[in-house]
Amino acid sequence: MSNGNEKVYQAVSSAIVLGLTLLSAIPLIYVISMSLVNEQEWIDRGGFILWPQNPTLIAYERLFQGTAVLQALSATVVRTVLGTALVLLMTTLAAYVLSKRNLPGRKPMLFFILVTILIGGGLIPTYLVVRDLHLLDSVWALILPGLVDSWSVLVLKQFFENIPGELEESAVIDGAGEVTLMCKIMIPMAAPAMAAIGLFIGVAHWNSWFDALIYLDDSKWHPIQLLIRNMFSSSEIGAQFNNAGQHNAFNPVNRVSAESLKMALVVIGTLPILCVYPFLQKHFMKGMYLGAVKG
């Protein structure tokens, strides 16, 4: 292909990709924009706003006036941090042990862990187990049932197996025990994979709501996603938050539409986890590909 044609091809491809990107971004822009408008602007501009003319944080102020949103956010952060840390710990331990080819009973152990990828306990049996372990109405009901992620065990096991055996041998010769070997040699080398898995687990915990619905009657540990779901299904959300506290004003400039409240809730429920991604990005990209190449 000549240089001229190549340039035209690049220009057209870039234009198409840029167009598709902008199209994909429109819903996100809409969510953020709608969360920043008051009721007056919503009425004046007909309800579909991609760029607020008078941006305001009134929707966020109203949502944080009561305790429900803050409580749900706190519960979600606790669950996500604790859950991710514990899952990583347990998954790493399981993967490291199972990566040892000379481990007695390795194959049956691997089978029992991996079969859970295909077969689950089901809703009712799992609920019965959680109940009989006295975990209902506790944050542990949201964390312990998923403590060992089978898929992550597979990925990490593969990582550990790919680490050259010579490294291990030289560490052992230098006097390293199993724990030192695992903590100071193997885990640092598997850091990219662990970062990727940690991100997947963290996002899964952040987005979970169904387990909270089933296991928690006490709303103290209800996560933000469950609160968002409940509020979205409420027809009274606009009335509730426009009559709160001293903001019982009739002026639409001081009021916020139900649509804006919902969009603000979406932003509150999404932004924190989005902020984590840049910190893990370099590990994430490395982790996605390292395990694919063997030897």
x-or-dash pattern for other proteins, window 30-69, by CB under 8 A?
---------x--xxxxxxx-----------------xxx-
What's the N-to-C CA distance of the chain in angstroms? 37
Contact 162, 207 (CB under 8 A): no
DSSP designation for 137: T
Answer yes or no whether residue 284 interacts with other proteins by CB under 8 A. Answer: no
Residue 137 binds to other proteins (criterion: CB under 8 A): yes
Which listed residue (138, 150, 158, 207) binds other proteins by CB under 8 A?
Answer: 138
Q: Are 287 and 52 in contact (CB under 8 A)?
A: no
Contacting range for other proteins; rule: CB under 8 A; set: 15-23, 93-101, 186-194, 244-252: 244-252
Q: Is 164 in the site for other proteins (CB under 8 A)?
A: no
| Residue 147 DSSP one-character state | S
* Position 72, amino acid: A
Distance CA 69, CA 224 (A): 7
Q: Please identify, using beta-carbon distances, which residue of 65 and 150 lies nearer to other proteins.
A: 65
- Is 219 among the residues that bind other proteins (CB under 8 A)? yes
CA–CA gap between residue 208 and residue 9 (Å, rounded): 43
Least Å distance between CB 64 and other proteins? 12
| 211 forms part of the interface with other proteins (CB under 8 A) | no
Half-sphere exposure of residue 278: CA atoms within 13 angstroms, side-chain side: 4
Question: Taking the alpha carbons of 53, 56, 58, 59 in that order, is the dihedral positive or negative?
Answer: positive
Among 8, 54, 164, 217, binds other proteins (CB under 8 A): 217
Q: Does residue 150 bind other proteins (CB under 8 A)? A: no
C-beta separation of 113 from 119 below 8 A: no
CB of 42 to other proteins, least distance (A): 6
Contacts of 160 (CB under 8 A, 6+ apart): 95, 96, 99, 186, 190
Q: How far is the CB of 250 from other proteins (least distance, A)?
A: 4
Residues of this chain that interact with other proteins (CB under 8 A) are 39, 42-48, 66-68, 71, 123-124, 127-128, 131, 133-141, 144, 177, 179, 210, 213-214, 217-220, 222, 227, 229-231, 233-236, 238-240, 243-245, 248, 250-252, 255, 257-259
